[in-house]
Amino acid sequence: SNHESGNESSSNSGFEYAGPKLYVKPSAKSNRHIIVNAISHCCLAGSVNTDIKNKVLEEMSKCDANHFVILFRDGGCQYRGLFILSAETEEAFKVHGVGPKHIINAMCEKFYKYNSGAKSFSEITSTKHLSVSIDAVVLHTSVWKSVKAVIKR
C-alpha cells in the first residue's frame, strides 16, 4: 500500500497531490473489495478463468483508484473489461480487457450493482449515469460495433 508518503498528516486542501488526475482522496468510499469479490466469485470464478482472473486482480492492485467499473458484453454478466471510474466527470477509463478505452454515460445501456451475499449482479434501472453506486455496465450494441471496426482496420 502507498501510505509511506505520510498523506494522512497532510492538510485536506487537496492541492499537494501532483499525480494522475484520476486520484481521489483515500477517504473516499471505495468499491475495490466489492469488485475483487465480484471478479473472484462471479465474473471470473472457476479454474478455467484462473489466469485472466489473476491478471485482472494484479492490474487492480497497481491502481490507486477508489472506484472500479466492470464492463459486461450483455446481461449475461460476462466479464469484458475493467475500468477506473472518474466520478466527477462521470466517465470510466480502461485498465484491462476489451472494449473502448474510455466510457461515457451515453454509451451505457444498462447499469449494475454487485450483491456480495448473493454473489450476483442486479440491474439498477433508476439511473443512466456512471457513479460510485454502479459496479458494472453493459454498453449499447452500436458501441461494440464501432470498437470492432477499430480493431479490424
| 99-141 pLDDT per residue, tens | 999 999 999 999 999 999 999 999 999 999 999 999 999 999 9
Query: What is the per-residue pLDDT for 94?
Result: 97
Residue 34 near residue 135, CB atoms below 8 Å = yes
Residue 108 near residue 138, CB atoms below 8 Å = yes
74 DSSP assignment: S
The torsion angles phi and psi of 122, rounded to 5 degrees, stand at -120, 140
| 2-41 pLDDT per residue, tens | 444 444 444 444 455 555 555 545 546 899 999 999 999 9
Identify which has the larger pLDDT, 146 or 141: 141
Domains (ranges, CATH) in the chain?
28-152 (3.10.20.360)
Nearest CA among 124, 116, 122 for reference residue 36: 116
pTM over 0.85: no
Record the cell numbers describing residue 123, joined without a space: 440491474
Residue 113 near residue 135, CB atoms below 8 Å = yes
Provide CB contacts within 8 A for 30, sequence distance 6+.
66, 67
The torsion angles phi and psi of 130, rounded to 5 degrees, stand at -70, 125
